[in-house]
Amino acid sequence: MNDLLRQLGLGAINPGTWCGNEATEDKTAGLIDSINPTTGEVIASVRNTSKAEYERVIARAEASFAAWSRIPAPVRGNAVRLIGNALREHRDALGALVTLENGKIRSEGVGEVQEMIDIADFAVGQSRMLYGNTMHSERPQHRMYEQWHPLGLVGTITAFNFPVAVWAWNACIAAICGNVNIWKPSPKTALCGVAVQKIVNAALANENLPDAFFLINDDSNELAEMFVDDPRIRLLSFTGSCAVGRQVGTRVAARMGRVLLELGGNNAIIVDEFANLDLAIPAIVFGSVGTAGQRCTTTRRVLIHQSRFAEVRNALVRAYGQIRIGDPLDSRTLMGPLIDPASVSRVEAACDAVRASGGEIICGGERLDRPGNFITPAIAVAKNDWDIVQSETFGPILYLIPFDTLDDAIAMQNAVVQGLSSAIFTDRLQNAERFLSATGSDCGIANVNIGTSGAEIGGAFGGEKETGGGREAGSDAWKAYMRRQTTTINWGTDLPLAQGVNFTL
Ligand code: NAD
């Protein structure tokens, strides 16, 4: 473990406030202990950011923005290319740190760093494609077009469950758009934040560029709320629970700022009477047990046609029995610990709520008798309208719900307040298209014969309703990080007014 920390330039106590490569540490601010969820032991600590340090960060970031925003976008893209290369070099070590601090299995930890590399590559290309439209003016000798300018300071607050990739989705795209980034990671994965800050800024150290990547830390939420309320933060990109996101969205709206919300999900897979179970069962198991059920896109509900209910239930119980739970650094492990003891208690409470509603836990939901936050993944037979099924329990509990007709299944799939990810398993074209139609799934992501989790960066990622409506990563998500300016140039010698308005003096 110490070797890994050394490899990433981390110590026992790490400064948590960074302007590019330059760290500060105000010893009056407390320490955040990074806890290994597999053992309960402290890995290392990160110093919180004090209010005085925060003001210095903002002042430095504003000065940097004046310089960074003047650099041509393809040159900013080249800086992101260097970041992608540095992440390639540190892929395994950073991936191992993600596993150590977050508890997701090794291949998922490394996969998260791969996702950072992918978005960096994408951003490099995008830096030459910040296209605006041109329009034909209704007035003679006039030219009309739109151009995109950077916003300024972009604040990113991230959740524990994707401790590095979500930063990259935001920071790489925001940077090529000409913005300066300030990141506040989750206090549950603060060490990952420091490691990323160091890798990224070391890659740019000799490039004679202004600082574009800043880091603050806060485990009290006092500073986080200051950050949210700060009008100097032009865009606040928030990833986390619906409850906190609702507060963040309201506060940023109150100051007329821009917000990008990526919040909780309550994702369903529909298995119809024509589904190929050789595809559906592994997709459901990865979707519900992967990352120990702690993905925003985790499969939480499976809506199963009555005719296949017993078959699917039995296959899932058999598959769950084969899940190897243990040390996430061991390559044979398929499910690691949950992030903290409270998360284990929440899964137990969800199992109790199922029983109290008259449902049945058909497997799992039992704590493991070992240190760390381990619980066996649970499956329940449930009803869609139960309160517990309607809410996101951020852990491995899966609800099986029977249906009669596809319309009933789609109605149930949509009858939750969240709208992130959804999927159907079917070999019948009509059912797939019905699910994808305007009156089908109401989610930001709708898949056919692919599970709800494991999105690629090329598409725009995000969800509807209480998931917040934000879109990040690929497609045209870059537009959220820029302001659009419509420009009309008169190159003639007259001053005609639009709509033929006459205003002659
Ligand atoms: P959380 O809401 O508890 O915390 C998220 C972040 O908000 C953390 O950095 C936390 O320190 C910060 N925070 C907490 N209170 C705050 C406040 N008052 N003001 C400002 N910041 C505050 O979420 P979590 O437990 O870290 O993550 C799990 C949740 O995130 C789940 O609901 C999951 O679905 C969601 N999530 C969504 C996406 C997505 O893209 N839609 C991705 C990952 C996670």
What is d(CA 272, CA 424) in angstroms, rounded to the nearest whole number?
8
**Distance from residue 469's CA to the centre of ligand 1 (Å):** 15
> Does 225 contact ligand 1 (Cβ within 6 A)?
yes
Burial code (b: 16+ CB inside 10 Å, e: under 16) for 56-74 equals ebbebbeebbeebbebebe
- Give me the pLDDT at residue 1, please: 64
**Distance from residue 479's CA to the centre of ligand 1 (Å):** 23
> Does 393 contact ligand 1 (Cβ within 6 A)?
no
**Distance from residue 161's CA to the centre of ligand 1 (Å):** 9
- Give me the pLDDT at residue 321, please: 97
**Distance from residue 481's CA to the centre of ligand 1 (Å):** 20
What is d(CA 35, CA 485) in angstroms, rounded to the nearest whole number?
47
- Give me the pLDDT at residue 230, please: 98
What is d(CA 457, CA 448) in angstroms, rounded to the nearest whole number?
18
Give the ligand 1 atom nearest the CA of 159: 26
Nearest one of 449, 448, 478 to 461, comparing CA atoms:
478
What is d(CA 157, CA 178) in angstroms, rounded to the nearest whole number?
19
Structure tokens at 111: 């996969």
Backbone angles phi, psi at 455, to 5 degrees: -70, 155
Closest residue to atom 21 of ligand 1, CA basis: 224
Cα torsion 100, 104, 106, 110 to 10°: value is -90
> Does 240 contact ligand 1 (Cβ within 6 A)?
yes
The sign of the torsion formed by the CA atoms of 68, 69, 71, 77 equals positive
**Distance, C-alpha 109 to centroid of its chain:** 14
Give the ligand 1 atom nearest the CA of 296: 34
Structure tokens at 236: 């606040």
**Distance from residue 240's CA to the centre of ligand 1 (Å):** 2
Local structure of 400: helix, strand or coil: strand
> Does 239 contact ligand 1 (Cβ within 6 A)?
yes
> Does 221 contact ligand 1 (Cβ within 6 A)?
yes
Structure tokens at 28: 């009056």
Backbone angles phi, psi at 128, to 5 degrees: -100, 5
> Does 159 contact ligand 1 (Cβ within 6 A)?
yes
Query: What one-character DSSP code corresponds to residue 50?
Result: P
To test ligand 1's pocket by mutation, which of 219, 229, 241 has the most ligand atoms within 8 angstroms of CB?
Answer: 241
What is d(CA 495, CA 198) in angstroms, rounded to the nearest whole number?
55
Structure tokens at 377: 């993944």
Provide the strand spans (E) within 274-330: 299-305
Continuous segment of H or E residues that includes residue 200: helix 190-204
Residues of the chain with pLDDT under 70: 1
Local structure of 474: helix, strand or coil: coil
How many CA atoms within 13 Å lie on the side-chain side of 400? 26
Continuous segment of H or E residues that includes residue 203: helix 190-204
Closest residue to atom 40 of ligand 1, CA basis: 262
> Does 392 contact ligand 1 (Cβ within 6 A)?
yes
- Give me the pLDDT at residue 505, please: 87
SS (H, E, C) 238-269: EECCHHHHHHHHHHHHHCCCEEEEECCCCEEE
Backbone angles phi, psi at 304, to 5 degrees: -120, 135
> Does 187 contact ligand 1 (Cβ within 6 A)?
yes
**Distance from residue 504's CA to the centre of ligand 1 (Å):** 58
Going by their DSSP bridges, the two strands 17-19 and 22-24 should be labelled as antiparallel
Structure tokens at 133: 């439209």
> Does 193 contact ligand 1 (Cβ within 6 A)?
no
Give residue for tokens 């993944």.
377
> Does 394 contact ligand 1 (Cβ within 6 A)?
yes
Nearest one of 262, 221, 202 to 8, comparing CA atoms:
202
Going by their DSSP bridges, the two strands 267-271 and 418-419 should be labelled as unpaired
Contact of 270 with 303, CB cutoff 8 Å? yes
User: How many residues appear in the chain?
Assistant: 505
Give the ligand 1 atom nearest the CA of 461: 40
Continuous segment of H or E residues that includes residue 312: helix 309-321
Give the ligand 1 atom nearest the CA of 472: 40
* Residues noted as catalytic: 262, 296
Angle at 361 (CA atoms; ends 358, 363), nearest 5 degrees: 170
Domains in the chain and their CATH numbers? 2-263+468-485 (3.40.605.10), 267-456 (3.40.309.10)
Give the ligand 1 atom nearest the CA of 162: 43
- Give me the pLDDT at residue 2, please: 84
Cβ burial, residue 178 (10 Å; 0-12/13-18/19+): buried
Query: What one-character DSSP code corresponds to residue 158?
Result: -
Give the ligand 1 atom nearest the CA of 468: 41
**Distance from residue 2's CA to the centre of ligand 1 (Å):** 29
Contact of 471 with 461, CB cutoff 8 Å? yes
> Does 264 contact ligand 1 (Cβ within 6 A)?
yes
The sign of the torsion formed by the CA atoms of 354, 358, 364, 369 equals positive
The edge-to-edge listing of strands for the beta sheet with 31-35 is 13-14, 42-47, 31-35
Structure tokens at 252: 């940023």
Nearest one of 465, 502, 67 to 266, comparing CA atoms:
465
What is d(CA 284, CA 451) in angstroms, rounded to the nearest whole number?
6
> Does 252 contact ligand 1 (Cβ within 6 A)?
no
- Give me the pLDDT at residue 441, please: 98
The neighbour count for residue 279, using CB atoms within 10 Å, is 14
Residue type, 7: Q
To test ligand 1's pocket by mutation, which of 156, 157, 229 has the most ligand atoms within 8 angstroms of CB?
Answer: 157
- Give me the pLDDT at residue 11, please: 97
